[in-house]
Amino acid sequence: MRVEVNNLVYDSEKKDCYLEVVQAQSMLFAFVQCLDVGFDGTLKAVKRYWGSYSHEEPEKSIELILKFGGKWPKLPSEPKSYFA
């Protein structure tokens, strides 16, 4: 699946793109990692967004997440202990 919104591209065939769907509070949410290809199509910066998701309309869900979703920061690989 490939979804393009302005200069953001989610392509399930690209290793830098990622989609994780989770359920919380009886709702589905998706965390989408996509590529910002810039205005000329040569930039390849990783961007992350999240928002509500529907299995019935996956492409539309990803499109709306790329347009209006919240930013998803890169999380640390190991959680920090605040009690150590």
41 Cβ contact partners less than 8 Å away, ≥ 6 residues apart: none
CA–CA separation, 2 vs 28, rounded Å? 20
CA–CA separation, 39 vs 52, rounded Å? 27
pLDDT over 60 (residue 84): no
Q: How much is the pLDDT for 82?
A: 55
Sign of the dihedral defined by the CA atoms of residues 29, 27, 23, 77, in that order: positive
Interval 9-51: pLDDT, tens: 999 999 999 999 999 999 999 999 999 999 888 888 999 999 9
Q: How much is the pLDDT for 83?
A: 56
Q: What angle do CA 13, 40, 64 make, to 5 degrees?
A: 55
Q: How much is the pLDDT for 80?
A: 57
